Amino acid sequence: MSARDQAIAARAAMPALMRAGTQGRVAALNRMADALVVREAEILAANALDVAAAAAAMAAGKLSSALAARLDLSRSKLAVLADGIRAIAAMDEPIGRKLRHTEVASGMDLRLETTPIGVLLIIFESRPDALPQLAALALRAGDALVLKGGAEASRSNAILHEVLCDALAPDLPRDALQLVRTREEVGELLALDDVIDLVIPRGSNALVRAIQSNTRIPVLGHADGVCHVFVDVDADQDMARRIVTDAKKDYPAACNAMETLLVHRALVTAGHLPSLLSALDGVELFAHPEQTVELGLPAAPSLHHEYGDLAATVAIVDDVAAAIAHIRRWGSAHTDAIVTANAATADRFIADVDSACVFWNASTRFADGYRFGLGGEVGVSTARLHARGPVGVDGLLTSRWVLQGSGQTVTMTRTGEVAYTHRPLP
Amino acid sequence: MSARDQAIAARAAMPALMRAGTQGRVAALNRMADALVVREAEILAANALDVAAAAAAMAAGKLSSALAARLDLSRSKLAVLADGIRAIAAMDEPIGRKLRHTEVASGMDLRLETTPIGVLLIIFESRPDALPQLAALALRAGDALVLKGGAEASRSNAILHEVLCDALAPDLPRDALQLVRTREEVGELLALDDVIDLVIPRGSNALVRAIQSNTRIPVLGHADGVCHVFVDVDADQDMARRIVTDAKKDYPAACNAMETLLVHRALVTAGHLPSLLSALDGVELFAHPEQTVELGLPAAPSLHHEYGDLAATVAIVDDVAAAIAHIRRWGSAHTDAIVTANAATADRFIADVDSACVFWNASTRFADGYRFGLGGEVGVSTARLHARGPVGVDGLLTSRWVLQGSGQTVTMTRTGEVAYTHRPLP
């Protein structure tokens, strides 16, 4: 079956996904969770082949160690995945939720309600544990799915796909979950703007940018994660060190890791900088290019630089206004945090920093669908439309207007037979 | 000032739009409404010049009568516009509305709230009354605006822009409302994906398609309006005639006008078709290409055809399932209606027709922002992402996550010092 035929088959499965109802979709998700545990031996055996091949490829210099490291599945990872899918199954029904409800005129009831987007194309690299989580989020939202994984995880993805598809029956059609296997088909898939409604890339910035430039299908995702922590003059210094350490060192490759530390000048004047920077022990530090002498650090390549590693830029700012201006000018509007005990300063920061996630006294690392209580995420969006920040099931829904009348016409509103009331309903 | 500089100036006005607060934005809108009335003589004088020039151009065959007809402003049109702007001003504050509120862990409060999208580019043809309405909707949502009107309305647009900008002070910055004047600048504007967040075309299908193909900026709008009315076997025949008449004849050029009438076969068998078609007296009728003999009508050019005129396609379908299949296959997912007294049939239709607007016993002509109670509309979206159907102020907003913690780190969730609660808050 060609990639196009696979996408068409996914599209054809949409009405059945809706008709299955809450009960059918929830039952299928719970069976998917069970199957990951019951069939773990098959899954781990296939994964072991991928891992062995990756080790050989790495030894031959054909695969990066970062990609290889993400391949590995384990019994405990599968159990965590299964729990995550059960949590997504246990959510309140996301489809058909009323977003707005209005009496348009006497006998005319209008509601705006959530509905599935349609067919999603998710392109992901390496990490095979993404597949079950993405499948669960999409099916919970009633969306059909075309998945394209990395070649290095092909055996793991194939068995995970088979296990999950087997678990769909009898409630959901097997066609709702398509796995595309060869690399050549990505370009073909990106051309299918008449069949696919949304592309979600999960992977490197380079992957996201390449996809955005090569398709007319809307793309949900982020290309940059230049996150800031601003340590204000009124910050509790212990809290600041703890948050800065976590924001940079907990997982430096994550998009929600801190790339730039902004320090209030008064803290520097008061001699607090060395103590604050001790929080970044083991992190390679660079200075704002205009502050290399003052900070005694080499210049950062740019103020809009994502290290994605144990490295960070340090910049001194005069006050909260300067911190806000720096973030608006140089940030990527992903996640930016202030550490301060001063509520007025925090309010100003929260009001004026226009990022997808704005945090006060918390690590940027909390910008994550699971941590936000969304049950998981398909990614973090820095686009301004549709969904922003961590995207869970809600971001995989769209809306539609349902109007129930009793024979009204627009002509009758002109003759006075029908009068608009526009009364909000519960 | 170049178009790029204008867009940059609009972007720079964004923080001031936010800082003005509800009071400032509402006061500015009310002054805009007043100014349209107070300065009507200036506005009507400029409009008269456009209308005279259009009449000359029409006589010379250089302007279509449809475009020319939309140019005309009048005292009563300005009064209606002013009332519309006052209604938009009187809406509940749309910015900062809580969409979701969660206790992430003890002492961690997370809310998802509405926030302005940023800078909108609205490209509209002819109709100068669009300008004040679009400006009011955008400013109510805290968005800055770059407007590009048609050359034939240039004098009207210029004076409307001046009148509205004069009314912004002292609460809102004049730069928030930019009018670009020359045709050449459209291409330049569409290239500004680093400054403009959203393009909204208001005009012909050809305009919308041309814009979609020539920009990387997200486009909100619709290209097609192939709307259906399905008259079920259980329809009240008087109601059906009334709705069919209104849906086609009230304003045939509108995107929410009926293009295809679907008739249940049992009605045809029972001899009700001539009476039903009498509702379309004066409308040129075409048949489903496979039913020309049965209907005694010439074949429609295609089942996905938007006449935009006093013409319509008629098709006989076997039952509600066939009607749904026809609409899913041939429609444009804009607005589709069923006329029936049978609630079970209506439920089936509403559940399975996946259009932006699905109506039961009401004319498709109600698919409109004002009629839906949105205070107006920037357009009707048939895209599946962000906003669907009539787009009012809500569709001009995006969202952001605000997290207020008390020093929590992700590391602390692993050591057990912080426990996720993910408790929904009011």
Domain CATH number, residue B84: 3.40.605.10
Q: What is the mean pLDDT of residues B310-328?
A: 97
pLDDT band at A183 (very low <50, low <70, confident <90, very high): low
Same domain for B133 and B56: yes
Q: How many helices (H) and strands (E) does chain A have?
A: 17, 16
Q: What is the mean pLDDT of residues B159-183?
A: 94
Same domain for A100 and A66: yes
User: Quick check: is B414 in a domain?
Assistant: no
Q: Among B14, B404, B413, select the one facing A360 at the smallest CB separation.
A: B404
pLDDT at B249: 97
pLDDT band at A181 (very low <50, low <70, confident <90, very high): confident
**pLDDT, tens digit, 9 for 90 and up, residues A377-400:** 888 998 889 899 999 999 999 999
pLDDT at B69: 77
Interface of A with B in 192-211 (CB under 8 A): 197-198
Interface of A with B in 337-376 (CB under 8 A): 346, 350-352, 354-363, 365-367, 371-373
pLDDT at A126 over 90: no
The parent domain of residue A31 ranges over 3-220+378-399
pLDDT at B244: 98
Q: Do the Cβ atoms of A398 and B404 come within 8 Å?
A: no
Q: Among A351, A385, A409, select the one facing B246 at the smallest CB separation.
A: A409
* B407 and chain A in contact, CB less than 8 A: yes
**pLDDT, tens digit, 9 for 90 and up, residues A6-15:** 999 999 999 9
User: Quick check: is B44 in a domain?
Assistant: yes
* CA pair distance A280, A282, nearest whole angstrom: 6
Same domain for B237 and B156: no
pLDDT at A210: 87
Residue A16 identity: A
| β-strands A108-116, A98-105 pairing | antiparallel
User: Quick check: is A293 in a domain?
Assistant: yes
B243 contacts in chain A (CB < 8 Å): 407, 409
ipTM of model: 0.93
pLDDT at A2 over 90: no
Q: Give CA angle at A194 (A191, A197), nearest 5°.
A: 90
CA distances (Å), origin B378, targets A180, A403, B93, B178: 39, 20, 18, 17
Beta-carbon pairs below 8 A across chains A and B: 219
User: Quick check: is A152 in a domain?
Assistant: yes
Q: Among B104, B367, B400, select the one facing A357 at the smallest CB separation.
A: B400
Same domain for B318 and B187: no
* CA pair distance A385, A264, nearest whole angstrom: 33
pLDDT at A299 over 70: yes
Residue B174, helix vs strand vs coil: helix
Q: Do the Cβ atoms of B351 and A18 come within 8 Å?
A: yes
B357 contacts in chain A (CB < 8 Å): 400-403
pLDDT at B39: 98
Same domain for B295 and B176: no
pLDDT at A297 over 70: yes
pLDDT at A223 over 70: no
Those residues whose C-beta lies under 8 Å from the C-beta of residue B417, and which sit 6 or more positions away, are: none
* CA pair distance A53, A59, nearest whole angstrom: 10
Same domain for B44 and B12: yes
Q: What is the mean pLDDT of residues A309-321?
A: 97
Same domain for B293 and B250: yes
H or E element, residue B314: strand B311-317
pLDDT band at B411 (very low <50, low <70, confident <90, very high): very high
Q: Among A357, A365, A401, select the one facing B410 at the smallest CB separation.
A: A365
User: Quick check: is A245 in a domain?
Assistant: yes
pLDDT at B82: 96
pLDDT at B121: 96
Same domain for A279 and A213: no
pLDDT at B151: 87
Q: Do the Cβ atoms of B104 and A352 come within 8 Å?
A: no
* B113 and chain A in contact, CB less than 8 A: no
* B95 and chain A in contact, CB less than 8 A: no
Interface of B with A in 250-289 (CB under 8 A): 250
Selected for mutation to probe chain B from A403, A404, A413 (highest B CB count within 10 Å) is A403
**pLDDT, tens digit, 9 for 90 and up, residues B354-408:** 999 999 999 999 999 999 999 888 889 988 898 999 999 999 999 999 999 999 9
pLDDT at B183 over 70: no
Considering only alpha carbons, which residue of chain B is nearest residue A215? Answer: B216
pLDDT at A185: 78
Residue B331, helix vs strand vs coil: coil
Residue A212, helix vs strand vs coil: helix
CA B53 to chain A, closest CA, distance in angstroms equals: 32
Q: Do the Cβ atoms of B401 and A372 come within 8 Å?
A: yes
At how many degrees (to 10) do helices B40-59 and B154-168 cross?
160
User: Quick check: is B103 in a domain?
Assistant: no
Q: What is the mean pLDDT of residues B232-256?
A: 96
User: Quick check: is B236 in a domain?
Assistant: yes
Same domain for B349 and B232: yes
- What is the number of structural domains in chain B? 2
Same domain for B189 and B234: no
By mean pLDDT, which of A114-118, A179-183, B358-362, B375-379 is the weakest?
A179-183
Same domain for B13 and B149: yes
Average pLDDT, chain A: 94
**pLDDT, tens digit, 9 for 90 and up, residues B30-84:** 999 999 999 999 999 999 999 999 999 888 888 777 777 789 999 999 999 999 9
* B142 and chain A in contact, CB less than 8 A: no
* A402 and chain B in contact, CB less than 8 A: yes
A118 contacts in chain B (CB < 8 Å): 384
pLDDT band at B207 (very low <50, low <70, confident <90, very high): confident
Helical H segments across A177-264, by residue range: 185-190, 205-212, 237-249
pLDDT at A191 over 80: yes
CA A302 to chain B, closest CA, distance in angstroms equals: 18
Of the candidates A218, A191, A384, the residue with the CA atom closest to the CA atom of residue B216: A218
* A80 and chain B in contact, CB less than 8 A: no
pLDDT at A393: 92
Q: Do the Cβ atoms of B420 and A390 come within 8 Å?
A: no
> What share of residues in chain A are helix, strand, coil (percent, to 5)?
45, 25, 35
Q: What is the mean pLDDT of residues B254-266?
A: 97
pLDDT at A225 over 80: yes
* CA pair distance B199, B122, nearest whole angstrom: 6
pLDDT at B223: 66
Residue B382 phi/psi, 5-degree rounding, is: -105, 5
Residue A177 identity: L
User: Quick check: is A132 in a domain?
Assistant: yes
The CATH number for B244's domain is: 3.40.309.10
**pLDDT, tens digit, 9 for 90 and up, residues B266-296:** 999 999 999 999 999 999 999 999 999 999 9
pLDDT at B125 over 90: no
Same domain for A361 and A258: yes
Q: Among A242, A403, A410, select the one facing B357 at the smallest CB separation.
A: A403
Average pLDDT, chain B: 94
H or E element, residue A85: helix A75-90
Q: What is the mean pLDDT of residues A187-195?
A: 91
pLDDT band at A151 (very low <50, low <70, confident <90, very high): confident
